Every structure is written in structure tokens, then in C-alpha cells.
Amino acid sequence: MYPVVVSRHFMVRVNALMQFLKTDTEIFGGKVKYHWWQIEFQNRGSPHLHMVVWVEDHSSVATPEGIARIDSVCSTAIPPETSELYELVKNCQIHRHTSTCTKNNSVCRFNFPRPECLETHVIDPSSNEFIYNGGRICVLKRKSEDGWVNNYSPALLKMWKANMDIQPCGTNESIAYYIAKYVSKSEPTNLDGEVSRAIQQTRREETDVSRKLFKICMRILRERQVSACECVFRLCHLSMRDSSRKTIFVNTRKVEQRYKVLKFNEAGQAAGYCANIFERYEKRPAEHPNYDFNNMCLIEFAMLFEPHYTKPPVINEESIDTDAYAPHEQTTRRRLVRLLVVCSCGRVVLGPQDTGLS
């Protein structure tokens, strides 16, 4: 296997797929408005993709219109042998039990074979059927002979030509759970044990705190299980996640418990602290023609603005490998909002351009 070729080719496919989905209105029955995806590595090996898409103007899944839309997008049927999908479904979508099926239980955790279902319907999240269905909010119609077929989109399967598991999300909670599950997925339990033993050993051997932390960090890095493909993704700076929405962390601890980031000068000496979201919020303009800053809360401020620093463009050899990346979309920057700076004399003046918010 050639991990560099495999990894870069996979990213080319992912980016081509995303470019298509952003402009297509047929596959999901509407325009994709938002998206989130993350790449994982199967058994620490080959890459695969987890994705959530939000479809514009989609009817609620609890309505007849929503059910009809689901049936037009998702399928669990083995097509006729004369269909071009027949071999794809047989080769890619038929579930076969492996050791991962029963790693947490004695039965298949993916619920295969799945029972016959005459009509697609939504499940009550508080029912036993919801638990048996693996937390999926919707049960797709299925014939008895299709019990081993994983959910797929016929149109998407023709394009992707690989295994998929496509399903509707019925609630905001289920979407948040799905994303959080894969963003914060833990390491295998046997790795946790190795790291714990290494930490205990280091605590006994070392007395200097900095040397303790250094040895613990090195031990964690050595114990981390990384496949060849994951190494390629990290060394070649290939994207492992993407979202149409940005996120920002707001430290909600008490003032005295919040950490600060040191700022260093050209001589490498500490020269104060970097500005944070709280300081920028305190320095917001008193008046502005487009924003009511006086009545704007911290959360709204964090959602609307981000720091803008004037920096010269940097081109390095790590950014040359561009053909495995999606093309950058042209965006129009909003006009800058300058922060207020309080001088030592107590006067309030406009902040410099490079401390503005966009």
C-alpha cells in the first residue's frame, strides 16, 4: 500500500464530492445549506468520512412530505440484477459481521440483520424501538430479503462507488450528539491503561515538575496509535475536518481562574499577554452606525466579530501541495470596526487598524 497516494487521492475525492454537493439540489432533495465533516481511520488504517449536511427548506421528518423526501433520498433495497446499481450494492452495501460488530455486546451493535418494515416512519425517542434502532430517529421501509443492506443513496452510490450509511437526523440533539461523539472520540481503552501506568511511573521517578510533564507528554506521544495514512494526513497538512460554521471558545470560568497567553518580543522575552475576547468586548465602540454595541452581549459580540491583523502573505514549501485541497471560495470581508483604546491620561481614542475586528 502507498499511504501518501491513498491519502491524497481520498482527499481529492472528498473535495470533489463537497464541491458537487454544494451546487446540487437533487441528491438530498434540496440545496445543502451547511455542512460538517471529519475524517477518521478505520481500525487505525484507511481513512473514512463522517459527515452531516443541513438541507435547505426540508420538511419536518414527522410530516408526510418529510417521509416522502426521505424515501426519495434513502434506500435499503437490493436493485434488480439488470440495474447498474446491483453490483455496487452487492459489493459495497451488504453488511458482513466482523469483530467490531460485537466488541461491546454479544449481538451486532449495528442491528443487522434488520427487520422488515412496510413503511418509513419516525420513532419516539423515549420508546424501546428507538433504543433497538441504535438511536436512529427514523426506520426506513425494508423488505425481508433486504435485511443485510445498509442504508444508501442511489444517486450518491453511483458517484462515490464505496460503502456509505446515510440516514436522516430528526432532532437538534441527535445532530449535536453525533458531531460531539466524533470530535471527542477517545483512544482505545488499552491505550488509556498504558498512559496511566506511564504517568504513575514518572511521578515516582521524577521530582522536578517540568521534567515530569515533559516525560509524560513524550510517553503519551509514543503510545499514540497512528496509522500510515493518518501520519500522511498530519505530515502533509491534509484537512481532517471542515465545517461551514466557525466556532469560538469563550472561557466561562471566574476572572481569576482564566488562563492567559504570553506574548513574546523579537528578543524572545515575555512582553505581556495576548488580547482575549473579554478585553476586545470591553473595548468595543460606544457608537456605530451599523451595530448597537451598548446593548450587545458578549456571546453576540463573539459570534459577529473576529480579530483582523494586517500580515504580509507568507508562502512556504508546505503550502505548495495544493492539488489535494479544495479551492478557496472568494469571500468579501466586512468593513473593519476599530476598538477603543484607553490612554494613560484617561482619554478614549480609536484603536489602530491592526487591532480591528472584521
Burial class from Cβ neighbours inside 10 Å (0-12, 13-18, 19+) for residue 128 reads exposed
Which pLDDT band holds residue 8 (cuts at 50, 70, 90)?
Answer: very high
Residue-averaged pLDDT of the chain: 79
In the chain, count H helices and then E strands: 11, 11
Percent of the chain with pLDDT over 90: 18
pLDDT higher than threshold 70 for residue 194: no
pLDDT higher than threshold 60 for residue 190: no
pLDDT higher than threshold 70 for residue 78: yes
pLDDT higher than threshold 90 for residue 193: no
Q: Where are the beta strands (DSSP E) in the chain?
A: 32-41, 47-55, 121-122, 138-139, 241-243, 262-264, 270-273, 307-308, 340-342, 348-350, 356-357
Tell me if 15 sits within 8 A of 325, measured CB to CB: yes
Which pLDDT band holds residue 147 (cuts at 50, 70, 90)?
Answer: very high
Query: For residue 348, what pLDDT is reported?
Result: 36
Cell of 139: 426506520
Which pLDDT band holds residue 289 (cuts at 50, 70, 90)?
Answer: confident
User: Amino acid identity, residue 335?
Assistant: R
Under 8 Å CB-to-CB from 198, ≥6 apart: which residues?
A: 216, 219, 220, 223
Query: For residue 224, what pLDDT is reported?
Result: 64
Query: For residue 308, what pLDDT is reported?
Result: 75
Residue written as cell 473514512? Answer: 48
- In 3D space, the residue among 143, 150, 95 whose CA is nearest the CA of residue 117 turns out to be 143
Q: Are strands 241-243 and 32-41 parallel, antiparallel or unpaired?
A: antiparallel
Least confident piece of the model among 206-215, 224-233, 269-278: 206-215
Burial class from Cβ neighbours inside 10 Å (0-12, 13-18, 19+) for residue 15 reads middle
**43, 268, 280, 305 from 356: Cα distances, Å:** 46, 25, 9, 9
Cell of 282: 470591553
What does pTM read for this prediction? 0.70
Between 121 and 337, whose confidence is greater?
121
Q: For 227-248, how does the pLDDT look when each residue is reduced to its tens digit (9 = 90+)?
A: 888 889 988 889 888 888 877 8
Which pLDDT band holds residue 334 (cuts at 50, 70, 90)?
Answer: low
DSSP letter, residue 38: E
Which pLDDT band holds residue 185 (cuts at 50, 70, 90)?
Answer: low
Least confident piece of the model among 23-32, 215-224, 262-271: 215-224
Residue written as cell 450494492? Answer: 89
Angle at 267 between CA 338 and CA 352, to 5 degrees: 10
DSSP 213-255: HHHHHHHHHHH----HHHHHHHHTT--SEEESS-------S-G
First vs last Cα of the chain: how many Å apart? 46
Q: For 307-329, how does the pLDDT look when each residue is reduced to its tens digit (9 = 90+)?
A: 877 665 555 544 445 555 555 55
Tell me if 248 sits within 8 A of 277, measured CB to CB: yes
Q: For 34-70, how does the pLDDT look when each residue is reduced to its tens digit (9 = 90+)?
A: 898 989 887 657 898 989 898 888 888 878 888 888 8
Query: For residue 345, what pLDDT is reported?
Result: 40
Q: Helix, strand or coil for residue 122?
A: strand
DSSP 319-350: G---TTSPPPPP--PPPPBPPEEE-TTS-EEE
